[in-house]
């Protein structure tokens, strides 16, 4: 074992003898953490807006199943990693014990930055998916122009950034106040999210195509310019401006699946808190596998009901009209499912409850992404490749206050860039995170052979199908799935693509991590610390 600071004749390697974190996460906490980071609401919002509106000819059912199968392979690979090295810090703790340390830090820096970006992504969508459509819909139902105007105003950049920033700060306070309080808040918000989703499902099940058409025409007709039959008029107007239903195509289905894969990758985010889980193997299994399965089921159930009530052609035409500003057919605010479902119910109460459920789902994404980022920052500091202050833990709350503050600040900066500029495409950062995960999974295929001293301590070391370590098999399949979806995103110019704009982000973040590592390594060397010694053993717990 590497020597510890303060011992006679020792060389200071790890920042201290223990991380300072405590095992506070139950199996239920892990499941809620993971399914919250999938966010059923964000998944539904993206899939039902971009799926029909951008990827015409894409089949959302097949898209979700493909993404779910791929993420299951990736998730199982990460499960092997986290039960083998059950420490907090995300892929950093895995990669740094299996790859060249500068490469490991570079991967972790890039992927932690990506997940902090998606915290900002969630802060942005709290208003645009939840609050603004709800206020607008209530205004339409109540025939209140002031509420309709308020809803459109809330979707403006200033309000979106202001509300999002306030939520980021509140999330940081929750994380700083202790993980027990954080997990309790997640349970409460998860219950609200589930109730809102069940209300949506119940409202859809109780409705019909004819009643939706009648209500849509009555409520939206005065706000559109496509004739008295606004439902069919929207389809006609969209078709005159480039929309069509070409029937099923594999290429569009594969691209549409990116919008299922993006949220599903959150199902494995409990790897960031591995050292804080009471029953690591069971808890991580329930969290990762359960989050993928239940999210896919929820999406498919809602798709069936939405298509039955609203119709694919209408959904595709109305979202296409909004995204392409079709004259007369564009709704007052973006037609997220919260807007369309609110109109369907023709009830201000049900509209508010459904929107509240979506807001709760989005919220579950927001502080948990920051939790991932700050645990990575803390792990870097413990290994001495980041400033010491970010590895310090409060004696009262057992949380890394400085690391949380830095992660939150980064998320707010990303929120500003996402809100006020066009430089960051909505999911371009997923390529950064996915590339880092895929390389880490590839390293996992060789880990049982390269580091048998560490792997033999794993609870899965005895599982060897056909004489091959299970980690090697599962990580190999996860690597294939990761490469497949990286290529899918690479060739999807709407979601991410490979323009110079996208490449500059992808390469810039990796290069930035590489530079930071060497600066810190040289700084530590000048103070008599050889950071390479930390990578010879499992990180402190």
DSSP collapsed to 3 states, 18-84: CCCCCCCECHHHHHHHHHHHHCHHHHHHHHHHHHHHHCCCCCHHHHHHHHHHHHHHHHHHHHHHHHH
Q: What is the pLDDT of residue 15?
A: 66
| Local structure of residue 274 (DSSP, 8 states) | G
Nearest alpha carbon to residue 234 among 155, 308, 127, 331:
331
Tokens, residue 268: 């494995």
Nearest alpha carbon to residue 410 among 110, 105, 117:
117
- Residues 478-518: pLDDT tens digits? 999 999 999 999 999 888 888 887 788 778 888 999 999 99
- Residues 217-252: pLDDT tens digits? 999 999 999 999 999 999 999 999 999 999 999 999
Q: Give the pLDDT mean for 413-438.
A: 84
- Residues 351-402: pLDDT tens digits? 999 999 999 999 998 999 999 999 999 999 999 999 999 989 988 898 999 9
Q: Give the pLDDT mean for 264-274.
A: 95
The 8 Å CB, 24+ separation contacts for 462-470 are 470/80
Name residues whose C-beta falls within 8 Å of residue 157's C-beta, 6 or more positions apart in sequence: 419, 420
Instruction: Give residue limits of the domains in the chain.
Output: 27-95+121-420
Rounded (10°) angle between helices 312-323 and 40-54: 90
Q: What is the pLDDT of residue 17?
A: 66
Whether 6 has a pLDDT exceeding 50, the answer reads no
Nearest alpha carbon to residue 475 among 449, 450, 435, 438:
438
Tokens, residue 498: 């490979």
Residue 8: helix, strand or coil by DSSP? coil
Nearest alpha carbon to residue 132 among 100, 164, 110:
164
- Residues 65-117: pLDDT tens digits? 999 999 999 999 999 999 999 998 999 999 999 999 999 999 999 999 989 99
Phi then psi dihedrals of residue 213, to 5 deg:
-60, -45
Q: What is the pLDDT of residue 18?
A: 61
Residue 234 CA to residue 496 CA, distance in Å, equals 29
- Residues 32-57: pLDDT tens digits? 999 999 999 989 999 999 999 999 99
pLDDT above 70 covers what percent of the chain? 95
Average pLDDT value over all residues in the chain = 91
Mapped to the 3 state alphabet, what secondary structure does 411-423 carry?
HHHHHHHHHHCCC
**Distance between terminal CA atoms of the chain?**
13
Confidence of residue 473 (pLDDT cuts 50, 70, 90): very high
DSSP E strands, 211-267: none
Whether 16 has a pLDDT exceeding 60, the answer reads no
Confidence of residue 427 (pLDDT cuts 50, 70, 90): low
Mapped to the 3 state alphabet, what secondary structure does 426-456 carry?
CCCHHHHHHHHHHHHHHHHHHHHHHCHHHHC
Residue 170 CA to residue 193 CA, distance in Å, equals 19
Tokens, residue 315: 């959904």
Angle (CA) 307 312 317, round 5°: 140
Whether 10 has a pLDDT exceeding 70, the answer reads no
CA distances from 76 to 371, 379, 409, 473 (A): 21, 23, 32, 10
Asked if 148 and 136 count as a contact pair (C-beta separation under 8 A), the reply is yes
Confidence of residue 137 (pLDDT cuts 50, 70, 90): confident
Q: What is the pLDDT of residue 4?
A: 37
Q: What is the pLDDT of residue 503?
A: 81
Residue 95 CA to residue 479 CA, distance in Å, equals 14
Name residues whose C-beta falls within 8 Å of residue 166's C-beta, 6 or more positions apart in sequence: none
Tokens, residue 82: 């986290």
Residue 191 CA to residue 201 CA, distance in Å, equals 15
């Amino acid at each position: 074992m590497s020597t510890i600071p303060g011992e006679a004749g020792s060389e200071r390697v790890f920042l201290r003898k223990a991380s300072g974190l405590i095992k506070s996460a139950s199996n239920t906490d892990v499941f809620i953490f993971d399914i919250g980071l999938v966010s059923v609401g964000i998944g539904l919002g993206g899939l039902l807006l971009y799926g029909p509106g951008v990827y015409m000819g894409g089949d959302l059912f097949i898209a979700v199943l493909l993404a779910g199968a791929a993420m299951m392979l990736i998730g199982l690979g990460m499960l092997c990693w986290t039960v083998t090295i059950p420490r907090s810090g995300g892929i950093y703790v895995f990669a740094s014990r299996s790859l060249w340390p500068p490469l490991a830090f570079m991967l972790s820096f890039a992927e932690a930055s990506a997940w902090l970006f998606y915290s900002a992504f969630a802060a942005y969508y709290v208003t645009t998916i939840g609050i603004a459509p709800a206020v607008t819909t209530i205004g339409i139902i109540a025939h209140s122009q002031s509420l309709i105007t308020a809803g459109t105003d809330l979707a403006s950049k200033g309000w979106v950034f202001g509300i999002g920033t306030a939520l980021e700060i509140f999330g940081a306070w929750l994380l700083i106040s202790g993980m027990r309080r954080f997990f309790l808040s997640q349970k409460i918000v998860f219950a609200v999210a589930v109730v809102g989703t069940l209300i949506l499902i119940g409202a859809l099940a109780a409705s019909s195509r004819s009643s939706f058409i009648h209500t849509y025409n009555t409520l939206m007709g005065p706000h559109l310019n496509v004739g008295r039959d606004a439902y069919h008029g929207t389809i006609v107007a969209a078709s005159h401006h480039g929309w069509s239903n070409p029937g099923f195509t594999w290429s569009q289905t594969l691209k549409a699946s990116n919008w299922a894969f993006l949220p599903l990758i959150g199902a494995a985010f409990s790897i960031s808190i591995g050292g804080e889980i009471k029953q690591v193997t069971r808890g991580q299994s329930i969290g990762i596998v359960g989050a993928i399965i239940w999210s896919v089921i929820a999406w498919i159930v809602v798709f069936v009901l939405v298509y039955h009530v609203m119709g694919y052609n209408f959904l595709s035409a109305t979202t296409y009209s909004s995204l392409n500003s079709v004259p007369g057919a564009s709704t007052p605010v973006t037609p997220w499912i919260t807007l369309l479902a609110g109109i369907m119910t023709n009830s201000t109460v049900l509209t508010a409850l459904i929107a509240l459920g979506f807001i709760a789902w989005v919220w579950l994404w927001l502080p948990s992404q920051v939790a991932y980022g700050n645990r990575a920052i803390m792990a870097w500091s413990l290994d001495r490749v980041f400033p010491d202050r970010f590895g310090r833990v409060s004696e009262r709350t057992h949380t890394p206050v400085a690391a949380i503050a830095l992660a939150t600040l980064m998320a707010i900066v990303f929120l500003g860039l996402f809100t006020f500029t066009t430089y960051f495409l909505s999911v371009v950062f997923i390529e950064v995170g996915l590339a880092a995960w895929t390389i880490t999974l590839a390293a996992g295929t060789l880990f049982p052979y390269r580091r048998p001293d560490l792997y033999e301590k794993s609870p899965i070391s005895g599982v060897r199908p056909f004489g091959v370590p299970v980690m090697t098999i599962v990580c190999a399949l996860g690597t294939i799935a990761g490469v497949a979806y990286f290529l899918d995103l690479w060739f999807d110019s709407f979601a991410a693509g490979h323009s110079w704009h996208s490449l500059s982000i992808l390469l810039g973040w990796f290069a930035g991590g590489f530079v930071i590592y060497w600066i810190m390594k040289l700084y530590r060397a000048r103070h008599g610390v050889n950071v390479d010694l930390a990578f010879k053993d499992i990180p402190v717990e």
